[in-house]
Structure 1
Amino acid sequence: MKKSFLLGISFLFSLSFGLLAQEKIERWNRIELSYHAAFQGNGYQDVEFKAIFVHRDTTLTVSGFYDGHQNFKLRFMPTRLGTWKYTTQSNVPGLAQKTGTLECITPSAQNHGLVGTQSSLHFSYADGKVYYPFGTTAYAWNHMGTELQQLTLTSLQKSGFNKIRMCIFPKNYDLVKEEPSLYPFVLQETKRDAQGNEVKVWDYTQFNPVFFRQLEKQIDALQSMGIEADLILFHPYDKGRWGFDAMPKEVNIRYIRYLLARISSFRNVWWSMANEWDYVKSKTVADWDELTKTVVNSDPYRHLCSIHGATATYYDYWKPEFTHVSVQDESPVQSPNSAAMLRNVYHKPVVLDEVGYEGNLKSRWGRYSPETMTHLIWNGVMGGTYVTHGESYMFKDHRDTIFWAKGGRFVGDSWKRVAFLRQILEEGPGPMSLSDVSRDNITSSGGKGNYLVYFGKQMQEYWMFNLPINNGSFGKLTAGTRFRVDVIDTYGMTIQTLPEIFETGKDNDYRFYDKDWKKIRLPEKPYLALRIREIR
């Protein structure tokens, strides 16, 4: 038996080192156990293989997987500090009753663990650090050539994004027609249909480990940059070219279990059951419910899980399998109030994973100006939700490297403004929510004495300093509170600190104005914000 332990992640590859008698492993890193064993039948279907990992207060059952050439692997991510003991179970004698011990130690400074939900409305890492999902979209980047994949990673490293939406299966769409070099299943034969078109016939009983190793390599590369991989498990963009959108139910379930056995131990993955689930005509709502439960039951670590529909098609996100809401709808981000209402309906974190994209496409969903894209993201954040970025510029035809589809380089402008907004939030005390929901459309707060006022497209010469008495869950504002104000140009990415000190006077119709009725002189331009912080 060979044991290896993932000690660190490099940009595009992992380093593993031989385990000693009792190896030390950081919390939320992963250990990989490898075994070579003879067996009869199909290693993907006929071999049962798992391990029970036991800690003094936790027991986790982890499924192993066949990696080809009589090699079997188990991957484990310890979630508790201290000693873990494990024992394998299998119907193959060479894989059964293997035992060992490992010591889980304090994680390094950059290892914050899995992202989960915080106080039911926002996200945080397992160690308690707040996580603000500022993601982008590159659906098929992992199916492009090696050079383009590397360029995508380089672009992401410089971008400030900390999440990416990406498909596991290849995509056949008007703007992405490239044939991938790797497939998740073994090709059985290639034949011609009645129209003379080439048709690939897959052996659905045989996975292709090389495909999954490439995916794992990319996930590790993303982790090294602090980026979460929001993995789309199914999608409708096949149209019979490969048939992965219409596989039999038992194949779908086997695929899910194999995928999760391989990568649920990667701390930076999310499960997106589908992109535009309602366009996958081969599956019913009952099918999606069953597949979602299969994902949750196959994941010992309970990664984030949701499902995404076509425009304004909402699933039953109240179901316990879903940790957050993932929707395609631009309506909720036309104002912060609308975004806040959506969150207050579901009482779960909301990610508007498609509100449209910056670009120049003929399709209305792909032709936002960079100003509009930035504005919608600000509206979502002010309302206590999160908005996913995308970029879809086409200058010639579908062979262009459109980031939204294939990755590559960013050629637009809103991505820089997203990084600027992320910095502002991370410098604040916590996630935002409207201070006086449904009554104040421009004032949001991340904590007591900390406000953002966002004017959006509105332009004005002066703004009378005023704040609502109510401040959500942070209590009520009182008279005599002193503040300093920064003027933020959200598109120009500048911050100017004003020299004046503002102090709340007597309350006036549920609001406090400055005791001397001071005004703030504003640049006469759109997309301005104010950061207002109490002086303690």
Structure 2
Amino acid sequence: MEFTEKDKLGRVLWNKEASEILKKHLPQIFDLTLYPVFGSYIKHISLEQIKASHPEILITPELIQIIQHELANVSVEKEEEVIPSNNYEDESVEVGSAKVYSPYSVRKWNVIELEFEGPSHGNPFLDVALSVEFSSESKTVEVLGFYDGEGIYRARFMPDKEGNWTYKTKSSARSLDGISGKFVCTAPLEGNRGPVRVNNTFHFSYTDGTPYIPVGTTCYAWVHQDEHLINETLDTLKASPFNKMRMCVFPKAYKFNTNEPNYFPFEALKEGWDFTKFNPVFFQHLEQRILELGKLGIEADIILFHPYDRWGFANMNKAQDDRYLRYIVARLSAYRNVWWSLANEYDVMLSKDSDDWERFAKVVTENDPYNHLISIHNCLQFYDYLRPWITHCSVQRIDAYKTAENTDEWRKQWNKPIVIDECAYEGDIDQVWGNITGEEMTRRFWEGAVRGGYVGHGETYINSEEVLWWSKGGKLYGSSPERIAFLRRIMEDGPKNGLNRLDVSWDYPAAGILDEYYLFYYGFNQPRFREFQMKPGIQFKVEVIDTWNMTIEELEGNFEGKFQIELPGRQYMAVRMSKI
């Protein structure tokens, strides 16, 4: 491995052997990584920059030479992409001879799954390419198939059009090539409204046009817990207001999350993993959880990569990364409730750079025929959300205190839906991001809503079992979820095309439609009254909303022109006006 003092440290730190060499000679650098800001930016800086900003760390030319000499002996693993050969099966195997199981019908926006009994010699994950073309009249959709272990191959498809469909396979394995069939797509089941799409620039709707208001929560590693805890999480979600769940594919290693998962995504070796062989049981388990969320009406915001890893999944090489992405897209893209999140805190992943993230986006979007929503989540550096492949902005606040108040600025900057997936967590752990009150969590939800955005929930209350909702799921103990449910009902009763900021008050945020609907929010202020000057000739019904106590008081009479509304002098109050 070549290395100079001008090279970014990310080139070294992601490699375990190289990182140990650097740690041996410059342990002070690793002490600095304990500070969140430095820990996030370390991969972007060089020894030369550290020498300038931290003169207490002695970095001499002689030391640089020693480090360079030792790093020169470190090999950097490279793996070329394997191109499946058409000689995987010899000519004695009849083309299209694999047995196929195919349903005769499927509901619109449901999944039809083709199952093939095929070859299993060699390494089918590498050696066999399989895709299927689905056609209906002039519409043709190609999807990737995948190997599911024990000689079974599958291809999944979500039809978005009623009527007759045909399919035909293409494969590097002769027995899987050229298999054809047909099925019929019937009307969708009640409640199935299709995948969620961006609507009206800053908002969302299901494919059938029904508005979708994302009210999200985060349980990073809930699928990696035991069945009892998983079922407890699902029971909690069933009674909650949440209709979106952020969740990791890979297991997570972090404070309050130190247990080993039951399943791993790759076949285990004596030491490490065989990254050329997926573990189908792991992915089957993940799929079951996504289906269960779908039954609850919850969107699964799938986090494809994250930095909190002790198993090596964050440091796969390019060929391994791309192969993993194609495999998981082949398995999951047909589920209507899937969203893609390229990463949680992309900027803390030492082994990835902007070229990697752009390549990942290309791999996902080119192999997802349904164009699911896709974004990427930050730690301390925003991604360029103007990138055309990004459908919405998955934001973590970069200020410890000011969060949803930035929604207006972000809408103007990126002209896309603003989803503040991480505004901090209601809880009582030691970290500033994990100890806000229920009142503050609720306030941030309201601030985001009346500024035309969407805020996400999370919870980090300490307990003796170390089962914190944000990491493992389980039960919710906080006071914000029922208040968030109250806000969700108000948003659902609001304008069909979503809440948009109105510039009608210089001192407090308001949202709605001019001369038709207004929602004013006063946050942690406590006015005793407010005066309003509305357009003459338009009468309004006025309601005073206590967002914390969850009450709505409709005031007597109708209001027009200039008038004053009395308020209780408490925090977290709102006023709603609806044209009569």
Specify if TM > 0.5.
yes
Query: Partners of 1:355 and 1:384 in 2: how far apart?
Result: 15
Q: Say which of 290, 294, 315 aligns to 1:246.
A: 315
Displacement, 1:337? 5.9
Matches within 5 A, 1:112-151: 112-151=193-232
Q: Distance in 2 between matches of 1:440 and 1:463?
A: 11
1:264 equivalent to 2:333? Answer yes
Which of 538, 560, 566 is matched with 1:481 structurally? Answer: 538
Q: Deviations over 1:399-458 (max 9, x none)?
A: 411001110000001111111111111112231111117846322105761111111111
Residues 261-314 of structure 1 deviation map (CA, whole Å, 9 limit, x = unaligned)? 011000001100001101100011111111111111110101000001103x11
Partner residue in 2 for 1:356 = 424
The Cα RMSD (Å) is 1.7
**TM (normalized to structure 2)?**
0.80
Aligned twin of 1:497? 554
Superposition pairs of residues 41-52 of structure 1, within 5 angstroms: 41-52=122-133
Q: CA deviation at 1:105?
A: 2.1
Match of 1:507 in 2: none
**Structure 2 residue 384 is matched with structure 1 residue 316:** yes
Ranges in structure 1 where 5+ consecutive residues have no aligned partner: 5-18, 191-200, 468-477, 505-512
Q: Aligned in 2, Cα 1:254/1:447: closer, same or farther, shift over 3 Å?
A: farther
Structure with greater Cα Rg: 2
In terms of fraction of residues, the more helix-rich structure is 2
CA gap 1:339/1:208 in 2 versus in 1, 3 angstroms? same
Q: Which runs of 4+ in 1 moved over 6 A?
A: none
1:206 aligned counterpart, secondary structure: strand
Find the residue that maps to 1:302 and give its secondary structure. coil
Query: Please, which of 229, 233, 236 is the counterpart of residue 152 of structure 1?
Result: 233
| Residue type at the aligned position of 1:268 | N
1:387 deviation in Å? Answer: 0.8
Post-superposition shift, 1:3?
Answer: 2.7
Q: Using the alignment, how far apart are the partners of 1:446 and 1:168 within structure 2?
A: 40
Which of 518, 524, 535 lines up with 2:569 in the alignment?
A: 524
AA of the residue aligned to 1:125: Y
**Residue equivalent to 2:345:** 276
Aligned positions of 1:161-180 closer than 5 A:
161-180=242-261
Shift of residue 104 of structure 1?
1.9
Q: Check the 8 A contact 1:336/1:441 in 2, yes or no.
A: no
Shift of 1:524: 1.9
Amino acid at match of 2:452: G
Matched residue count: 481
What is the distance in 2 between the residues matched to 1:50 and 1:446? 48
Question: Which residue is equivalent to 2:443?
Answer: 375
1:420 aligns with one of 482, 486, 504:
486
Q: Check 1:466–1:151 CA distance in 2 against 1; reply closer, same or farther (3 A cut).
A: farther
1:432 is matched with 499
What one-letter code is carried by the residue in structure 1 that aligns with 2:435? R
Q: SS state of the match for residue 530, structure 1?
A: strand
Q: State the alpha-carbon separation in 1 of the partners of residues 174 and 403 from structure 2.
A: 62
Q: Which residue number corresponds to residue 101 of structure 2? A: 3
Aligned counterparts, 1:201-216, within 5 A: 201-216=272-287
| 1:183-209, Cα deviation, whole Å (9 max, x unpaired) | 00010114xxxxxxxxxx101111000
Deviations 1:447-491 (A, max 9, x none): 761111111111122222335xxxxxxxxxx42100001111111
Structure 2: gaps of 5 or more residues? 1-98
Contact 1:350 1:386 in 2 (8 A): yes
Alignment of 1:52-201 (within 5 A): 52-190=133-271, 201=272
1:456 alignment partner in structure 2: 523
Q: Distance in 2 between matches of 1:418 and 1:310?
A: 24
- Which structure has more strand as a fraction of its residues? 1
2:251 maps to amino acid: P
1:366 aligns with 2:434: yes
Instruction: Name the amino acid aligned to 2:540.
Output: F
Change (3 A) 1:91 1:263: same
Distance 2:514 2:213 in 1: 15
Residue 332 of structure 1 and its aligned partner are, at CA, apart by 11
C-alpha deviation, 1:383, in angstroms: 0.7
Rate the CA distance shift 1:227–1:153 in 2: closer, same or farther, 3 A.
Answer: same
Q: How has the CA–CA distance of structure 1 residues 499 and 457 changed in structure 2, closer, same or farther, with 3 Å as cutoff?
A: same
2:202 and 2:411 in contact (8 A); partners too: yes
Indicate whether 1:33 and 2:78 are aligned.
no
